[in-house]
């Protein structure tokens, strides 16, 4: 009997405590929908616009928004590549649109 | 002047893309017929293909457009174009596009103005016109338009004073149609037309803006709000704004957009802002810069109705350029903590699991 081990590695699985008020530095669809509640359309819109939108590189959408994707999205709207400390009307509008829902 | 048939339209477009996204353009360097004005060592950049759904297509770039400048710098080769657009999400392009006039020359014949230029006293020994003019055409070979003259740069005197054309209000990318009512289509004709003249009147067609589907200017995609402004100016004073006529893709009726507002001007005091669309002045509908001139001529006070896009930063509910990123960061944390999720594990743990890949046999 021959046993072939081609690859053995250890995978680190991080299990955080899933409780109300916890954070994992990723925004899921559930996070967004919970936050926006009745404004589900906005949650869906921003998930679609931000997911896979990492700053400096296009990544595959995975249903979650990382902080890099979050910054990348606003960078894009704010035209931060110009190096000018300013934001565009579109960036202000998006932030206001979202932050207006803070309870 | 080409009142019917083909003519080159000098148009500014804005391409917006995501980081590292391709523009979606296939471009060739074209030498030979049609680019004599650029010099033998220079090409012009012609668009061969526009990828469907790409940022370039959304912005309104067409096949056969000639790219004249990128982010304000004239381009004559592909490496320059790539360098100027690299790493930028927003790219301003000025293109030369062959347009066809409708019968009677009614299509996009706006933006034509007269500019009287006082040539410098030293004549051609000094700056003369004070503008670098090149011949441009649209299209290739037998399909190209007749040459037109375009101002590609404005010169200053050695002491830094604006040159004659700059003083007269000539702008980069102006297309020179006539001198003192005579058509000019080549540099040779221009030299002849200027001979022994001290104050020729140039009839030029000014650069237009074209707004694609991705622009913040697109009326359909962004909420517009109407703002009424009361403008008061002293006798003989200007309005203090730079205006440009603009088109939306596929449309022939222009609208007027504010491209700059001078500080301490009557427009600034009234609250006019860059990117405002001038819709009405004293209840007269505005479609062109000529309409603006006619509507305010001889008036010291008047009402301007503008359409303003999106949210003005000053009215953004406390959001400013200084705190924008802090608020964005805070909002991320707030949303991240918003979700109610089932408690699966009582305490944070790190589990180290062996990940084994085998080809046949079994795992031990």
Mapped to the 3 state alphabet, what secondary structure does chain A carry? CCCCEEEEEEEEEEECCCCCCCCCCEEEHHHHHHHHCCCHHHHHHHHHHHCCEECCEECCCCCEEEHHHHHHHHHHHHCHHHCCCCCCHHHHHHHHHHHCCCC
The ipTM is 0.73
3-class secondary-structure state, position B301 = strand
Residue B155: predicted pLDDT: 85
> What are the phi and psi torsion angles at A83 (to 5°)?
80, 5
CB contact (8 A) between residue A16 and residue B348: yes
Distance from CA of A61 to the nearest CA of B (A): 14
CB contact (8 A) between residue A89 and residue B319: no
Q: Which residues of A touch B346 (CB under 8 A)?
A: 17
Residue B245: predicted pLDDT: 77
Residue B362's pLDDT band, with cuts at 50, 70 and 90, is very low
Q: Which residues of A touch B333 (CB under 8 A)?
A: 23
The stretch B247-270 carries a mean pLDDT of: 79
Q: Which residues of B touch A59 (CB under 8 A)?
A: none
Size of interface A-B (CB pairs under 8 A): 171
Share of chain B above pLDDT 90, in %: 7
Nearest residue in chain A measured CA to CA from B15: A79
Cα B328 to Cα B220: distance, rounded to the nearest angstrom: 26
3-class secondary-structure state, position B38 = helix
User: How many other C-beta atoms lie within 10 A of the C-beta of residue B143?
Assistant: 11
Q: How far is CA B161 from the centre of its chain?
A: 26
Task: Among A43, A90, A101, pick the best mutation site for testing chain B contact (most B Cβ within 10 A).
Answer: A90
Instruction: Report pLDDT digits (tens) over B185-212.
Output: 888 889 899 888 888 999 888 877 776 5
Strands (E), B182-237: 182-183, 201-205, 208-211, 224-232
Distance from CA of B111 to the nearest CA of A (A): 27
Place of tokens 């037309």: B193
The stretch B143-159 carries a mean pLDDT of: 78
Nearest residue to B49 (alpha-carbon basis) of B13, B10, B71, B22: B22
Given a cut of 50, is residue B106 above it in pLDDT? no
Given a cut of 70, is residue B168 above it in pLDDT? yes
Nearest residue to B93 (alpha-carbon basis) of B64, B144, B63, B59: B59
The stretch B271-284 carries a mean pLDDT of: 87
Query: Over chain B, what is the mean pLDDT?
Result: 74
CB contact (8 A) between residue A91 and residue B324: yes
The structure's pTM equals: 0.57
More confident of the two residues B34 and B97: B97
Nearest residue in chain A measured CA to CA from B86: A81
Contact B12, B215 (CB under 8 A): no
Given a cut of 80, is residue B56 above it in pLDDT? yes
CB contact (8 A) between residue B19 and residue A58: yes
Task: Among B90, B338, B364, pick the best mutation site for testing chain A contact (most A Cβ within 10 A).
Answer: B338
Q: Pull the structure tokens for residue A86.
A: 């300013």
Nearest residue in chain A measured CA to CA from B21: A58
Instruction: Report pLDDT digits (tens) over B265-276.
Output: 899 899 898 778
Cα B47 to Cα B45: distance, rounded to the nearest angstrom: 7
DSSP state of B174: P
CB contact (8 A) between residue A95 and residue B362: no
Residue B180: predicted pLDDT: 92
Contact B210, B245 (CB under 8 A): no
- Beta strands at B349-358 and B208-211: parallel, antiparallel or unpaired: unpaired
The stretch B22-47 carries a mean pLDDT of: 68
Distance from CA of A41 to the nearest CA of B (A): 16
Q: Which residues of B touch A87 (CB under 8 A)?
A: 313, 321, 324
Task: Among B221, B277, B318, B335, pick the best mutation site for testing chain A contact (most A Cβ within 10 A).
Answer: B335
Residue B250: predicted pLDDT: 61
CB contact (8 A) between residue B333 and residue A23: yes
Given a cut of 60, is residue A88 above it in pLDDT? yes
Distance from CA of A36 to the nearest CA of B (A): 9
Distance from CA of A100 to the nearest CA of B (A): 9
The stretch B18-26 carries a mean pLDDT of: 79
Element (H, E) at B189: helix B187-194
Query: Which residues are B183's β-sheet partners?
Result: B178
The stretch A1-28 carries a mean pLDDT of: 44
């Amino acid at each position: 009997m021959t046993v072939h081990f081609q690859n053995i590695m250890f995978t680190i699985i991080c299990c955080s405590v899933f409780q109300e008020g916890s954070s994992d530095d990723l925004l899921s669809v559930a996070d967004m929908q919970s936050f926006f509640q009745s404004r589900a359309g906005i949650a869906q819109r921003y998930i679609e616009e931000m997911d896979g939108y990492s700053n400096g590189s296009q990544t595959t959408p995975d249903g979650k928004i990382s902080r890099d994707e979050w910054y990348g999205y606003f960078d894009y709207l704010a035209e931060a590549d110009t190096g000018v400390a300013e934001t565009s009307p579109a960036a202000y509008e998006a932030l206001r649109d979202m932050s207006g829902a803070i309870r | 002047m080409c009142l019917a048939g083909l003519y080159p339209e000098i148009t500014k477009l804005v391409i917006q893309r995501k980081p590292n996204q391709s523009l979606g353009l296939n471009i060739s360097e074209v030498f030979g017929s049609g680019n004599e004005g650029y010099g033998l060592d220079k090409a012009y950049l012609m668009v061969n293909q526009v990828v469907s759904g790409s940022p370039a297509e959304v912005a309104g770039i067409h096949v056969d457009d000639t790219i004249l400048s990128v982010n304000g710098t004239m381009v004559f080769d592909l490496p320059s174009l790539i360098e100027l657009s690299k790493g930028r999400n927003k790219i301003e392009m000025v293109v030369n596009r062959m347009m066809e006039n409708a019968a009677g020359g009614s299509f996009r014949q706006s933006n034509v103005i007269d500019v009287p230029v006082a040539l410098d006293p030293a004549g051609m020994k000094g700056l003369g016109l004070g503008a670098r003019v090149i011949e441009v055409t649209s299209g290739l070979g037998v399909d190209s338009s007749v040459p037109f003259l375009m101002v590609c740069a404005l010169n200053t005197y050695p002491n830094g004073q604006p040159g004659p054309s700059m003083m007269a209000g000539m702008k980069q990318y102006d297309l020179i149609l006539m001198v003192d009512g005579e058509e000019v289509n080549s540099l040779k004709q221009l030299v002849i037309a200027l001979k022994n003249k001290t104050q020729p009147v140039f009839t030029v067609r000014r650069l237009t803006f074209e707004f694609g589907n991705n622009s913040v200017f697109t009326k359909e995609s962004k909420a517009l709000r109407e703002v009424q402004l009361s403008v008061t100016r002293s006798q003989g004073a200007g309005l203090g704004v730079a205006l440009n006529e603009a088109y939306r893709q596929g449309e022939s009726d222009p609208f007027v957009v504010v491209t700059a507002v001078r500080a301490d001007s009557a427009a600034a005091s009234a609250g006019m802002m860059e990117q405002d669309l001038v819709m009405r002045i004293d209840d007269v509908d505005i479609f062109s810069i000529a309409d603006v001139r006619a509507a305010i001529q001889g008036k010291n006070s008047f009402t301007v109705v503008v359409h303003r896009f999106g949210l003005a930063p000053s009215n953004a509910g406390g959001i400013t350029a200084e705190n924008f990123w802090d608020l964005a960061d805070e909002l991320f944390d707030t949303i991240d903590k918003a979700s109610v999720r089932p408690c699966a594990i009582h305490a944070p743990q790190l589990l180290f699991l062996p990940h084994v890949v085998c080809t046949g046999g079994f795992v031990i």
